[in-house]
């Protein structure tokens, strides 16, 4: 493996890394309930994605029924 002959300065390293910053996730409004949601993900409030209900999480009513029994 090749090794650097001299140490790279902080400025030189930071100049190279200027393009590696983390960008904010893209958030859009859900067409069903207008809640903010991440792009290419099902809505956390209504459970719709591309016009179809795909939410497989347990509803609040089912949670109450399970805890009561």
The domain limits of the chain are 25-68
Higher pLDDT, 66 or 15: 15
Rounded CA separation 26/62 (Å): 32
Q: Is the pLDDT of residue 64 over 70?
A: yes
Q: Considering the entire predicted model, what is its pTM?
A: 0.52
* Of 60, 54, 2, nearest in space to 32 by CA: 54
pLDDT digits (tens, 9 = 90+) for 2-39: 898 999 999 999 999 999 999 999 999 999 899 999 99
Place of tokens 């960008």: 23
Q: Kindly indicate the confidence band of residue 1, based on its pLDDT and cuts at 50, 70 and 90.
A: confident
- What integer pLDDT is reported at residue 14 of this predicted model? 95
Residue 44, classified by CB atoms within 10 Å of its CB into exposed (0-12), middle (13-18) or buried (19+), is: middle
Q: What share of the chain is helix, strand, coil (3-state, %, to 5)?
A: 30, 15, 55
């Amino acid at each position: 493996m090749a090794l650097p002959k001299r140490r790279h300065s902080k400025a030189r390293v930071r100049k190279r890394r200027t393009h590696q910053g983390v960008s904010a996730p893209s958030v859009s409004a859900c067409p069903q309930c207008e809640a903010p949601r991440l792009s290419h993900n099902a809505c956390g409030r209504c459970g719709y994605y591309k016009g179809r209900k795909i939410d497989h999480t347990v509803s609040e009513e089912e949670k109450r029924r399970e805890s009561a029994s």
